[in-house]
Amino acid sequence: MTQGGQRPGLGGAAPGATAGLRAGGALAGIALVVAACACFALLDLTTKAIGSDLPLLMMLWARYLFHTLLTTAYVLHREGRQALRTTQPRFQVLRAVLFVAMSLFALLSILHMPLAEFTAIVATTPLCVTVVAALWLGFRVSPARWVLVAMGLAGTLAIIRPGGQAFGWALFWPLCLLATGTGYQVISSRMAGHESPATTQLYTGWIATALVSLVVPFAWVSIHDPWLWLGMFLMGLLSACGHMLLMQAYARTTPVTLAPFLYSQIGFAMLAGWAVYRHVPDSWSLAGIAAIVLSGAASAWLTVRERR
């Protein structure tokens, strides 16, 4: 996997050929991101399907264990033992703790909310990162970005509708997920350039598995239904595949190229919710989802313009 810098094979290529290779890399990256989003939507669907029959900690432990074993085999095969070297051990631990909190809040949210609305609320995380970067980290944020933050907030409010029937105690979980997810993204951003993404994936997975392994014996129950074990393995497989596909996508093109296509997960979530639970978001929720998607895509477009 190539980490930044010039991509293999472009050094001696003619300008036209180079442009063609870059376009091909961008298209491949987009396809990989869309496939990753489909995996994450299926992961949420699987979690919702088996969540009522299993303790949350057991589900979390099984997902981490299978995810980490599969990811470790993949990363070590491609990059060897050098992927085990880290220069940011404290940040790796903090990132893993935030990852566990995110996963726990995500499980609780999925069990109590429709998939499309849950996914749309979580999709506002990049906008929340913008607010944190401006207010606490001292980054300059343009007026256009503040407009997009307000647009994303309006979309979120259209979904949760304070005072309406959709507004209930269950919304506490996705809001907690939004808070921990913002911290997770800020830490990940600070680690970028200092740590290989593959190394970070390994350490996050193994530390998270170790943390949950400390408490899972207190929630352990006997499972006699093989379909539940299959469901937990499928959770780990989909999680590992989704993250591997993202790693491959970011190795082929820039994050700003891929960012708008991350919102395809909302579409997959809506489709899964309709196919399995016959749930279709109401008009207010659809309007909120559209506002979140548009604000996120516009934010990515602004990033491209600012980096020219």
- How far apart (Å, rounded) are the C-alpha atoms in residues 110 and 117? 10
Q: 24 and 94 in contact (C-beta within 8 Å)?
A: no
Is the confidence at residue 233, as pLDDT, over 80? Answer: yes
Confidence of residue 215 (pLDDT cuts 50, 70, 90): very high
Is residue 46, in this structure, part of any structural domain at all? yes
The C-alpha angle with vertex 128 and arms to 284 and 241, in degrees rounded to 5, equals 85
Interval 101-116 mean pLDDT: 86
Cβ-based neighbours of 287, under 8 Å, separated by 6 or more: 155, 158
User: Using 50, 70 and 90 to split pLDDT, how confident is the model at 192?
Assistant: low
Higher-pLDDT residue of 2 and 12 is 12
pLDDT of residue 24: 65
Residues 6+ apart with CB under 8 A from 116: 266, 269, 270, 273, 279, 281, 285, 289
Asked if residue 2 belongs to a domain, the reply is no
Conformational region of residue 248, where left means phi above 0, alpha means psi within -120 to 50, and beta covers everything else? alpha
Cross-strand pairs, 195: 192
In the chain, what percentage of residues exceed pLDDT 90?
20
Distance CA 181, CA 153 (A): 16
Question: Is pLDDT above 50 for 3?
Answer: no
CB 291 within 8 A of CB 158: yes
Residue 194: the pLDDT is 78
Q: Which amino acid is at 280?
A: V
> Each residue of 145-179: pLDDT tens digit?
788 778 887 887 777 665 555 556 667 888 898 88
Q: Is residue 175 part of a domain?
A: yes
Tokens of 9: 């094979």
Contact 226, 120 (CB under 8 A): no
Residue 239: pLDDT over 60: yes
pTM for the structure as a whole: 0.75
Angle at 97 between CA 93 and CA 101, to 5 degrees: 170
| 217 has a pLDDT exceeding 90 | yes
| Overall average pLDDT of the 19-32 stretch | 70
Question: How many structural domains does the chain have?
Answer: 1
Position 60 scores a pLDDT of 92
- The arithmetic mean of pLDDT across residues 167-194, rounded, is 79
Q: Which of 158, 157, 235, 250 is nearest to 200 (CA)?
A: 250
pLDDT band at 66 (very low <50, low <70, confident <90, very high): very high
Looking at the domain assignment, is residue 5 inside a domain? no
User: Would you state the pLDDT for residue 190?
Assistant: 76
Q: Is residue 11 part of a domain?
A: no
pLDDT at 72 over 60: yes
More confident site: 10 or 38? 38
69 pLDDT above the threshold of 90: yes
Most confident segment among 74-83, 139-148, 155-164, 224-233? 224-233
Q: What are the C-alpha distances in Å from 121 to residues 125, 154, 228, 291, 304?
A: 8, 11, 28, 11, 24
CA distances from 105 to 84, 110, 204 (A): 29, 9, 17
Model confidence pLDDT, tens digit, residues 129-149: 777 777 776 677 778 878 877
Residue 5: the pLDDT is: 37
Q: What percent of the chain has pLDDT over 70?
A: 83
Residue 76 or 158, more confident:
76
Domain annotation covers residue 16:
no
Quote the mean pLDDT of the chain: 80
Residue ranges of E strands in the chain: none
pLDDT, mean of residues 265-293: 82
118 within domain boundaries:
yes
| pLDDT for the residue 214 | 94
- Note the pLDDT tens digit of each residue in 8-24: 333 444 444 455 545 56
Q: Which two tokens stand for residue 238?
A: 């989909």
The answer to whether position 39 is within a domain reads yes
pLDDT at 210: 95
Distance CA 255, CA 263 (A): 13
287 CB-contact burial (10 Å; exposed 0-12 / middle 13-18 / buried 19+)? middle
**What DSSP state is assigned to residue 221?**
-
| Domain assignment of residue 250, given as a range | 24-306
